[in-house]
Structure 1
Amino acid sequence: MEKTHTARSNPGKSHAGQQRRGVGRAPLWDLLLEWSRSGDEGRWLREFCARRGWGRLLALCCALGGLVMALAALLNAIVGVQLAYSSSRVVMWISVAVGVLWALRWLGPWPGRRELIGLVIVGDIAIGAASLQHSDRITGIAGISFFAVLGVVVALFSTPSVQAVHLAVTGAVLVVLLVLLAREQGVAVLVGAGLPKALGEMMVCAGLPVVQFAYWVTRTNADDSLCDPLTGVANRRGLDEHRARLDAESVAHPAIGDACGVMLVDVDDFKHVNDTFGHPTGDAVLTRVAAVLTEVFGPEALIGRVGGDEFVVIGRVGDHRFRACARAAARAISAFPDPPITVSTGIATAAEPLSASLFDELMEQADQAMYRAKGRGSTRRDGAASENIA
């Protein structure tokens, strides 16, 4: 049995090779809808920074935001001359603790998606509570700027839905502060000082979703250049990009997966298909092969087109599962009615996490296995194709 190796991919989340429409050609409203449903933006940025050695610097910047918040709350807890309630000093000390814990957390392993959402929720509560403790409501409104700092983290590392909730919390705290200002100091102070200050703070906070959207459009357009325009799967450049991120990903996620596999798929006698049925039919065959591979192997596999009629599947799955998917894909492809085709497949697997060097080794082994399978020939009998898998 040949060795097999699979690389982890995240096609549903803007990963190279995912079938998608080029965002540069989509109407703005469609773009906004697609952006609103997009997933974790942080993974792409983390991997980008890790490959360039910037990962620790990025985490330190996030930690610094927590320390600044802790310092501001500490000064208010110690001085306390403008605190509005008897419990305000306790709230400030809690905010100090939250800021310090936030900073310490970023010094450890990068938080996962759910943990990051939890950190944002705790941060929102702490910032909102601290802002409401000032008897000088203008000072409290100035504290809204900490929501903007937290919003930068959300814009870079989380989803539009989390950004929307964060912005709603910011707006709610600001409205409460304005109502308290009007009740305690009058409408004149509200209109003359409170509203201009609040408007400035809210404009900064509301600008962050715009930044997040622009960042998403730029990154997604960059991802489109990594896709094969005919089939929508990764092109050679996309596969090279995936290979370049493997070592960085294995460092960032050392516990992900203990088995991986690579499968090469070659359409048998594809030149005959083009010569007999025409190039449009040949293009349709390639598109259907890519669609079958994407459907059978699922969103956690990366599908790429490495030649005119040759595809590669990279996934973190064990040998048995990988071969079962290969057989299912071969059967589905052989069921194409017009024109009938078969494929030859070579598989290589390894019981260890995927790295760039292992990827190269498994690609070579899968290539040799595919040509052994092709050498056995592929026949069709009664509408069924032999499973030409090695």
Structure 2
Amino acid sequence: MHGKRIVIGISGGIAAFKAASIVSQLTQRGVDVRVIMTASATQFITPLTLQTLSRNPVAVDTFDEKDPAVVQHIDLADHADLFIIAPATANVIGKIAHGIGDDMLTTTLLATTAPVVICPAMNVHMYDNPIVQENIKRLRQLGMHFIEPAEGQLACGYVGRGRLAEPEEIVAWVERFFDGQSCLAGKKVLITAGPTVEPLDPVRFFSNHSSGKMGFALAEAAALAGADVTLISGPVSLPTPPRVRRIDVVRAEEMLQAVLDVLPEMDVIIKAAAVADYRPKQVFDQKLKKSQDELTVVLEKTADIAQEVGKRKAPHQLFVGFAAETEEVETYARAKLERKGMDLIVANNVSVPGAGFGTDTNIVTVYDRNGRVKTFPKMLKKMLAKELISLIGDRLHGK
């Protein structure tokens, strides 16, 4: 990170004191850190503290123009390779989401073209407020990144999610951001995500608990790493990551066709979707009535998308699969990798708390043909996605 230019915005919450550690750690790594504080933030920590740690002047007042050669908020906006807001209060998140620039921090944010990462910190009920969550959703859709708040004892006395992520976690995210910024530059990446849905009649279907969160996180991380990403997704309620081309499908056969249509042009294929293994042999045009005590439904196998990719993939293509297991994880995962021609497989035990479907976290181990490559502890899927994309980038480049 030596020589990188980072602007850190500090808004008015008790967690503002943690910003001192973030500024210090980044400065020690050779980063050129510039700090902007809201007037409220100065009630919790002094500008002099941040100036001493960053070795640069701290900006607070939009109209306090110290250098007549530049307009300060434009100069700072242009300066940034990355813009961090830590802590980000509900107030400042709302302002950013609605394009309000009424102080030095929000005005500079409106002018910057740098990537922005927001680190929320607030009371748990404020964080869960639908308005705040809608603002966060809007900012995600606009391409801004988030480092999720932690759970624990809050300054207000409540216990729950809302604590600012620890400075070490934020600095580690920044390191991964710059490390992974170009590991897939110029590469075309195909990712499948979510479940497939196999209808029985107009109102009933067979599916699974996949939320698509892991696949969507991988798509976002791959795009951040410079890849041209195509995301083929089953039915999920997730926004499309920035700079990602999305193709929506429903049934396994539709996903197979979509995959085969684009497969030849891809450099990396990541099959994270939970595709239905079976479908009803007969699909009824009208709703089945509850007329009997028992109903027998005959199922037939769906197309095996992973196997078809394994058969067709070119020597230069890297094929990464997923294995969701409940027992003998390594045995089943490695057998699947061999059977379906994968280069890497990401395996997890979905019966373990924090590693199953629908959660925001995961616990995985990556295997190749020689055995275990790396085990990742429980972490947010967004963070894990960045780690996996970095590993894939290394493998793709022969590291």
Given the two structures, how large is their TM-score scaled by the length of structure 2? 0.24
More relative contact order in 1 or in 2 (CA 8 Å, sep 6+)?
Answer: 1
Larger radius of gyration: 1
Structure number having the greater helix percentage: 1
Structure number having the greater strand percentage: 2
